[in-house]
Amino acid sequence: MFVKLDRRLTRRVFVNLICLVVLLVASAPVALADELAVWNFNDSNLNVDHGNGTLSSSFNAVNILFGAGTTNNARLGDIAGQALSLQGGTGTANNGRHLTFNVSTLGFSDIVVSFATLGTSTGFNSNQFQYSLDGTTFVNFGPPYVPGSAFGAVPLVFSLASIVGVDDNPNAAFRIVFNGASSSTGNNRMDNIVVEGSATTSVPEPMTAILLLSGLSGLYGVRKRRRAAKMTQP
């Protein structure tokens, strides 16, 4: 009677462990996209709104304004609220000036930067996205871009997955250099700047789970053989 109960209990524990391993493999991927820093400008300032990071500008302070925002590229339930508005300035003095955001990517890879943007007819129409591995020296990434005349539904997306040095880097930084404004009030508006990446989770990879399952199976086999040997002893 006790032998039968012991067998049933052992078999039940083993089956439960198998189910747990299968559930771990099927329930979650190894890597998940995560927002490292988000600026929604709804508080009409340059402070980061979600995550960690710093945003600075070399524009003349009088030409850093805020206007109506959008939900394009918004995250974590952010409303349209406000958007950052950068003007050409007197004598278009802000041509060649930049917006810089420093965001540590420690523990993350496949970094992506995205944002919603628009430009007026006399605003900046030749803007260059850049990245930095040390927070000081910046490198052009892709060709200059021209903002649309409305926020639209599709944000600008810069995937830096091919730039390995940006991964897992506490000194990572990104910059947009603005050019082409032809009037003092011509402007570009930006909203919902997002820096995100992929972080490794604690969920076992499929091969790890298979090895665990094999080990459990081996232990169960050893236990079964030992019990059989005891039952055959005189």
Tens digit of each residue's pLDDT (9 = 90 or more) over 201-219: 544 445 544 544 555 555 5
The mean pLDDT of 20-34, rounded to a whole number, is: 51
Bigger pLDDT: 15 or 137?
A: 137
Inter-helix orientation angle 2-27/206-232, to 10°: 170
* Cβ contact 116:75 at 8 Å: no
Q: Strand 128-132 vs strand 31-39: parallel, antiparallel, or unpaired?
A: unpaired
The tens digit of pLDDT for each residue in 74-90 reads 999 999 999 999 999 99
Q: For residues 149 and 122, what is the distance between their CA atoms, to the nearest angstrom?
A: 11
SS3 content of the chain, % helix, strand, coil (to 5): 25, 30, 40
Q: What is the pLDDT of residue 153?
A: 87
* Cβ contact 171:141 at 8 Å: no
